[in-house]
Structure 1
Amino acid sequence: MDATPPTREELCPFPLRQSIGFLLVRTALRLRLLGNTILQEAGEDLTVDQWGILNLLWESDGQTPVELARRADKDKPNVTRLLQILEDKGYVARQPDPKDRRSHRILLTEAGRAIKDRLLELGSTCHERACAGLSAQEVATLKDLLNRVYRNVF
């Protein structure tokens, strides 16, 4: 595979609707809308962002808000707001960190653990709809390319 990036001349003129940034944002917004629609149609009182925090806790329960923010690529105030909503809904609880009294650990409640399989199934439905018409290899390539672009812009 040729790894030579396009030249400046090949990129000009720079049509906005063909730029990587525009295409990524447009796609991300549609994916968020699709995910929220699937959750709503399934009768779940959750958003994609709340689902994402739960997903990170299903992978590793007992993280701090700072750890969750880093892993979710979100700022701490946003994660704090999401955690408050999830706590109000009874899916998570805060527990003082025994190693650092200034911090808390976020733990799944029984309700937070009980919805895991159902929400993962809805996530799979969203993924299948978003990737309809793509082969498994194309999906793997797309993920690889997106991760490479992400690393390039750091």
Structure 2
Amino acid sequence: MKTPNSLEENLLFQISEVAKLLHKRLTIAFEEGGFDVTPEQFSILALLWYKEGINQQDIANELRRDKTTIARIISNMINRNLIIKIPDQLDKRNNLIYLTKKGKELQTEMVATSGKVYVQTMQRLSAKDVAVSLSVLKQITKNFE
């Protein structure tokens, strides 16, 4: 592996830049769509749209975020009536997270909005470019395990 000569040639720096730009683009798209939801909240909503009734630790694990950050986001989402906590009947130490009606109603429009951002982001990439990029990113992720 060649050592990068600049930030422009540094893959990890470029990954970070893409993540920041995507976050900004999603934030703008959600605001323009009239959604009072952050990209971080959207990631929790998206997880719950497909896997409702899980605890905070499972959410943190699925999204690869620390439990404290997830707890803060969840607290904000409860205050916005997007989700609720219900005590786990099998383990009273845990609360399970469920969508409210408001949280469920956001799915179609928010998925469509994020899908437009995805298409716009990927528009000049070939299928081969995407496949190679995914392979590289998955390998980088494995290097942290």
Q: Please give the range of the TM-score, normalised by the shorter of the 2 chains.
A: over 0.9
In the alignment, the residues of structure 2 paired with residue 59 and residue 138 of structure 1 have an alpha-carbon distance, to the nearest angstrom, of: 28
Matched, 1:149 2:143: no
Superimposed CA distance per residue, residues 31-88 of structure 1 (whole angstroms, 9 cap, x where no aligned partner): 1001111101111111100000000111100010000001111111110111111111
The one of the two structures with greater contact order (alpha-carbon pairs below 8 A, sep at least 6) is 2
In the alignment, the residues of structure 1 paired with residue 114 and residue 4 of structure 2 have an alpha-carbon distance, to the nearest angstrom, of: 38
In the alignment, the residues of structure 1 paired with residue 96 and residue 129 of structure 2 have an alpha-carbon distance, to the nearest angstrom, of: 38
Instruction: Select 2:83's aligned residue among 86, 89, 92.
Output: 92
Instruction: Select 1:136's aligned residue among 105, 124, 127.
Output: 127
Following superposition of structure 1 onto structure 2, how do residues 63-142 of structure 1 map, counting pairs within 5 Å? Answer: 63-142=54-133
Superimposed CA distance per residue, residues 92-140 of structure 1 (whole angstroms, 9 cap, x where no aligned partner): 0000011111110000111111111111101101101111111234223
Residue identity over aligned pairs, in percent, reads: 24
Q: Calculate the TM-score normalised by the size of structure 2.
A: 0.93
In the alignment, the residues of structure 2 paired with residue 51 and residue 75 of structure 1 have an alpha-carbon distance, to the nearest angstrom, of: 16
- Deviation at residue 146 of structure 1 after TM alignment: 1.0
More divergent stretch after superposition (31-40 vs 129-138): 129-138
Unaligned residue ranges in structure 1 (runs of 5+): 1-5
Unaligned residue ranges in structure 2 (runs of 5+): none
**RMSD (Å), alpha carbons:** 1.4
In the alignment, the residues of structure 2 paired with residue 141 and residue 55 of structure 1 have an alpha-carbon distance, to the nearest angstrom, of: 26
- Deviation at residue 12 of structure 1 after TM alignment: 4.0
Q: Calculate the TM-score normalised by the size of structure 1.
A: 0.88
Cα 1:12–1:85 change in 2 (3 A) is closer
Cα 1:145–1:13 change in 2 (3 A) is closer
Counterpart residue identity of residue 65, structure 1: Q
